[in-house]
Chain A
Amino acid sequence: MEKLLARVSALAVAAVLAFAPSAQAQSKQLTLCWAAWDPANALVELSKDFTAKTGIGMKFEFVPWTSFADRFLNELNSKGKLCDLLIGDSQWIGGAAENGHYVKLNEFFDKNGIKMSDFMPATVLGYSEWPKGTPNYWALPAMGDAVGWTYRKDWFERPEIKAEFKKKTGHELAPPKTYDQLKEIAQFFQGRTIDGKKVYGAYIYTERGSEGITMGVTNVLYDWGFEYEDPKHPYKMRGFVNSPDAVKGLEFYKSLYDCCTAPGMTNAYMQEGLDAFKSGQVAMQMNFFAFWPGLYKDPNVGGDKIGFFANPAEKKHFTQLGGQGISVVSYSPNRDGALQYIKWFATPEVQKRWWALGGYSCHKAVLNDPGFPKSAPFAQGFLTSMGIVKDFWAEPSYAQLLLAMQKRVHDYVVAGKGTAQEALDALVSDWEKVFKDDGKM
């Protein structure tokens, strides 16, 4: 027993000592943090070239979207040293800049001849700048992205389905240009049996925990005329967030959710959408462009069977911005290596290869190439979408603003509590409270 106890104590001491300061970080290795999704796996493949060129090894830390923000904002707030490079979400930029989580890159860009004018303006505004509209850069645009739609081209092209749609609605069955058309098509497919399988009309975001339902509902709200604030008076939200148009938009999203989604899609974000589409369950899927390369290669629903369209219009035409810039974390002990990676990543050759492997480059060398729109069936849609993007608040208080919206919208759309007007009124009050606490109102 004595020996056992001695051994156990020795083990405890050894465990404590050996792993106490986890400072066995090797200088010849960088950790890159991002979300766990198709493009990240493509980046692993791409980064092998960086390692081959510089001898610097790459480690990756990928977290699914539903815990992505929680996890890495927590990491930044705790001054963690895990990530040398972070591909953080567009809305984090305000907080990360003001609290010193990211390294400011202006000087580095100037020294190494990296010009922001080489990147698409919408991506520079969305992913790199804080305060918005000023030349203060905290990230290099890494992954352009926006919400778009996929549809089952093979179903849309079947003569019997086409004929029946025409008979029922008087319209031709084609990818929708407006949300009203989209709903009509979704209603048509809802509950239909295709190839012996019951299918559903549309897949839309409903996730509660992180940002899902907000990223879905804003696509509709923007199109109906929702504004975050009075364009003339910053932070004046009453009458804009809860305008009659915005209320109609929110009601539309709920009606789409009620009429045309698969059962059980009450807490669904990107992953569930992919599952639903890949298993042949839905006719149309709302999701981020980031997934289109992977879906296009899918053996079951890819290739000829899949088509893509940009977010439909209504009174206006916008789409929700996705995508991220790559930043250097200021707590990283490997700042030089991290900057070296960014420098490598910004070169046109790497950017071209990035697009080829399945990442959405934001570099003009890629996007302005005359062959680009034809380089993939979704390339043109991507260009169109990047011209009409709008983003959620990128304020330092973005998390609070987002969680308020998640709750209000989910309570109304999915849980069916109250009316759209009540939900948006409550949202305005929530947001006003946040900005008052921040001293901005």
Chain B
Amino acid sequence: MTATTLAHSVVEPSGRSKGIAGTVIVVYAVISMVPLVWIFLTAFKSPSDSIAYPPKIVFHPTLDGTCNLFTTISRQTADYISSLPPPMNVCDRIARARNMVVAGPSNFVPRFLNSLIIAFGSTALSVVLGVTAAYAFSRFRVPAKDDLLFFILSTRMMPPIAVAIPIYLMYRELGLSDTHLGMILLYSAVNVSLAVWLLKGFIDEIPREYEEAALVDGYTRLQAFRKVVLPQATTGIVATAIFCLIFAWNEYAFATLLTSGQAQTAPPFIPIIIGEGGQDWPAVAAATTLFLVPILVFTVLLRKNLLRGITFGAVRK
């Protein structure tokens, strides 16, 4: 560490080089954020503003997109509309102003709930399985350990569509098609390989001496695992859980092939939100924004462990 503390270290980049580097990075970061900013802006445009040419950067914000996302609307004649009772809420008012009526709620809320249930359910399951298996792999001389670990990893190399073919047939026979349970099991199977590999790395870093001391103290192995190892591995478990959560939250291929109406998650649903003619971009953008916000939060939370997660624990620092 001495080198960096020296005033004129040879390794410390010069002020000018720092300035140039900083400028390039900031420019890149800003450009790469443009699509996200555009999604966010589009969510508050009126449908006609969203498809205006040239694209509108300054516009009058509306709730049209949000309303269209949460409701099903139907175009009707003025006579028919005037025969209805007065509008009850803001969405009703917006619809009526365009000669439409709110026919009912849309399917967005159920799909969003499905995403939550399946993401949290599968994350919990894969972390529980992962932490126990990782502990065993870390602490015991498991026969054919390397082969088993590689086997666990290799299950992740199958293209999802290839896996989906037999799963489809299997779930059809078992009645698991389009169920939350089916999706939770499937996502857990995909995530457990990540969980085992990541958590093994975290548990490897916990000195064995702690548990052994606990064992000497009269703890059983299980107690030592619960009272000594798990608390030490908290950071790793949380980081792993977030990674599993992100995968399950974002997954599309399985969801689109194996779910339909009962257990469909948000990713296959968002692209098929359409309004009266054409994709309803403000509604799609509103859905996309709502869907991405949790991920932004998680990215910030994960900052320190991101590298480890994306390389299956291969790179730790």
Contacts and interface: CB of A to CB of B under 8 A. Distances in A.
Contacts of A82: 178, 260-262
Interface stretch (A70-78, A111-119, A172-180): A70-78
Interface in A58-114: 60-64, 67, 71, 74-75, 77-83
Nearest to A24: B262
A41 B73 contact: yes
B189 to A, nearest CB: 14
A8 B177 CA distance: 25
A74 B264 CA distance: 13
A239 B51 CA distance: 46
Contacts of B263: 19, 22
B184 interface: yes
B262 A357 contact: no
Nearest to B272: A64
Interface residues of B, number: 49
Nearest to A297: B75
A271 B180 CA distance: 32
A64 B278 contact: no
Given A63-B272, A75-B260, A274-B278, A297 B99 contact: yes
A22 B117 contact: no
Nearest to B258: A78
A336 interface: no
A297 B77 contact: yes
A38 B260 contact: no
A274 B277 contact: yes
A5 interface: yes
B121 interface: yes
B98 A299 contact: yes
Nearest to B99: A297
Given A15-B117, A297-B99, A45 B76 contact: yes
B181 A16 contact: yes
A22 B262 contact: yes
B178 A44 contact: no
B178 A80 contact: yes
B179 A271 contact: no
A12 interface: yes
A60 B277 CA distance: 18
Contact of B277 (A2, A22, A79, A294): A294
Contacts of B168: 78
A9 interface: yes
Contacts of B75: 38, 41, 294, 297, 358
Contacts of B178: 22, 75, 78, 80-82
B73 to A, nearest CB: 7
Interface stretch (B16-24, B101-109, B208-216): B101-109
Nearest to A278: B277
B179 A19 contact: yes
B272 A8 contact: no
Contacts of A75: 178, 260-261
A275 B53 CA distance: 13
A31 interface: yes
Given A8-B127, A275-B51, A16 B262 contact: no
A38 B272 contact: no
Interface string A8-26: 1101100110011110000
Interface string A356-385: 011000000000000000000000000000
B132 to A, nearest CB: 10
Given A41-B276, A61-B260, A358-B74, 4 more contacts: A8-B127, A36-B272, A44-B74, A80-B178
26 contacts: A2-B230, A5-B230, A8-B124, A15-B120, A15-B184, A19-B117, A19-B179, A19-B180, A19-B263, A22-B179, A41-B73, A41-B103, A45-B103, A60-B72, A60-B104, A61-B261, A64-B274, A78-B168, A81-B178, A82-B260, A82-B261, A271-B277, A271-B279, A272-B278, A275-B277, A297-B76
